[in-house]
Amino acid sequence: MFKWRKWVRILHRDFGYVAAGLTVVYAISGIAVNHTQDWNPNYSIEKSTMKIDPVPDSLLTSETLITDILAKVGEKGKLKSFFLPDSNTINIFVDGNTISVNLKKGEISQEKITSRAVIRETNFLHLNSPKKIWTFVADLFAIALAFLAISGLFMIKGKNGIKGRGAWLTAIGVFIPIIFLLFYYYKLL
Amino acid sequence: MKNIILSVVAFLFLVSNSFAGDGNKYGKDLRLKEKTKISAILAAPNGYVGKKVQVEGNVVGVCEKRGCWIELASDKPFQKIKIKVKDGEIVFPMEEKGKKAVVEGEVYEIKMTKEQALAAAENEAKEHGKKFDPTSITGPVTLYQIKGLGAVIK
């Protein structure tokens, strides 16, 4: 006689091992991107302001204007480029820092960005930024998760199995999203 | 078992490498052979609405939260244009700010009433931590942007 439950357990176990790493990646990123209203899940952004003496008109076209400003803010990163949004302002782009200077008022604001280690990488994979073959890997992972969920229902026999306690717990798990859909999506309750 | 694991890892490494992009390429390949100056679009935007263009400029702004837009500096001072991409389809990292980009996309217009323009300006000021000046909006506003389809940033 074909022992299907034995095979369900074997497959559930081995698929589970393979899926463990990716599940952790998706779980970390899931929490991170769940709170985008409250934080930036990819970068830590540090904003600061400082004052310098207003730059006289005679120095506005000076070749050393940018290097002078960088020296004043103590920025030693690699200069990428600059932009003039209006006649009074210059934005200087340095590796990891954007320095915006109101030349007439002498107001400097800086925006330093630092990539969030590990979390940014998990977001990159979770949100399928690589596209290409990662799309297929992520699809296979999703199929594996569905298999793990369904096979998990039938692994155990008896009063704790799907015909007993398992049925109630499974029902709770199914009703949770349904209740939220009724509340928030259909607005019926 | 070890051989199976090593084979799978080697296969994934080879396949992912063979599909890997240049790192700074986003979305679809660039196809247009001629570039359009951003200043030309901004000078007569109606003539470009609905048309595909390829533009070039330094990246002077990146969407902080979702990487769903960038702003390119024009070839003339004090001008820039926003490149909006479909959320999630292309994600521009913030490290691209300050680099030179070549972008292809379709020019489109957004017409806003005074109230909508006020709300948008207030929201933008809030996002950038700047003081909102309601007097800066005096009437209905029409914005011109590019729906980004592909980009190469160096």
Q: Is the pLDDT of residue B128 over 80?
A: no
Q: What is the pLDDT of residues B48-89, one digit of tens each?
A: 999 999 999 999 999 988 899 999 999 999 999 999 999 888
Q: Which pLDDT score, from 0 to 100, does residue B131 have?
A: 80
- Sign of CA pseudo-dihedral A53, A82, A40, B133: positive
Q: Which pLDDT score, from 0 to 100, does residue A1 have?
A: 75
Q: How far is B89 from chain A (nearest CA, A)?
A: 8
H-run or E-run covering A40: none
Cα B133–Cα B137–Cα B140 angle in degrees, nearest 5: 160
Residue in the block written with tokens 């379709």: B106
Q: Which residue in the set A129, A134, A137 is minimally distant from B91, CB to CB?
A: A129
Q: Considering chain B, what percentage of its residues have pLDDT values greater than 90?
A: 68
Provide, as residue numbers in chain B, all residues whose Cβ is less than 8 Å from the Cβ of A128: 88
Q: How far is A166 from chain B (nearest CA, A)?
A: 34
Q: What is the pLDDT of residues A153-169, one digit of tens each?
A: 999 999 999 999 999 99
A81, B88: Cβ pair inside 8 Å?
Answer: no
- Asked whether residue B118 is domain-assigned, the answer is yes
Q: Is the pLDDT of residue B19 over 50?
A: no
Q: What is the pLDDT of residues B132-144, one digit of tens each?
A: 888 888 899 999 9
Q: Is the pLDDT of residue B18 over 60?
A: no
Supply the range of the domain harboring residue B119: 23-153
Provide, as residue numbers in chain A, all residues whose Cβ is less than 8 Å from the Cβ of B65: 36, 40
B64, A91: Cβ pair inside 8 Å?
Answer: no
A-chain residue closest to B79, CA distance = A85
pTM of this structure: 0.80
Q: What is the pLDDT of residues B97-126, one digit of tens each?
A: 999 999 999 999 999 999 999 998 888 888
- Asked whether residue B139 is domain-assigned, the answer is yes
Q: How many residue pairs bridge chain A and chain B with CB atoms within 8 Å of each other?
A: 55
B60, A113: Cβ pair inside 8 Å?
Answer: no
A98, B20: Cβ pair inside 8 Å?
Answer: no
Long-range residue pairs from A145-150, CB within 8 A, at least 24 positions apart, any chain: A145/A19, A145/A23, A147/A11, A147/A12, A147/A15, A148/A12, A148/A15, A148/A16, A148/A19
- Asked whether residue B11 is domain-assigned, the answer is no
Q: Which two tokens stand for residue A138?
A: 């992520």
Q: Which pLDDT score, from 0 to 100, does residue A6 have?
A: 92
Per-residue pLDDT band for B22 (boundaries 50, 70, 90) equals low
Which residues of A lie inside 8 Å of B (Cβ-Cβ)? 36, 40, 42-43, 45, 47, 80-81, 83-87, 91, 93-96, 98, 113, 115, 127-129, 132-134, 137
- Asked whether residue B99 is domain-assigned, the answer is yes
A83, B88: Cβ pair inside 8 Å?
Answer: no
C-alpha A166/C-alpha A152 separation (Å) is 10
Average pLDDT of each block of 10 consecutive residues along chain A (189 residues)? Answer: 89 97 97 92 94 80 85 94 93 96 94 96 93 94 97 93 95 96 90
Q: Which residue in the set B12, B60, B129 is minimally distant from A83, CB to CB?
A: B60
- Asked whether residue B7 is domain-assigned, the answer is no
Average pLDDT of chain B to the nearest whole number = 87
Determine contact: B73 vs chain A, CB below 8 A.
yes
Q: For chain B, how many structural domains are there in total?
A: 1
B-chain residue closest to A131, CA distance = B89
Phi, psi (degrees; rounded to nearest 5) at A102: -90, 105
Provide, as residue numbers in chain B, all residues whose Cβ is less than 8 Å from the Cβ of A96: 95
Q: Which two tokens stand for residue B139?
A: 């009437």
Per domain, the residue ranges of chain A are 4-40+131-184, 43-115
Q: Which residue in the set A40, A98, A128 is minimally distant from B97, CB to CB?
A: A98
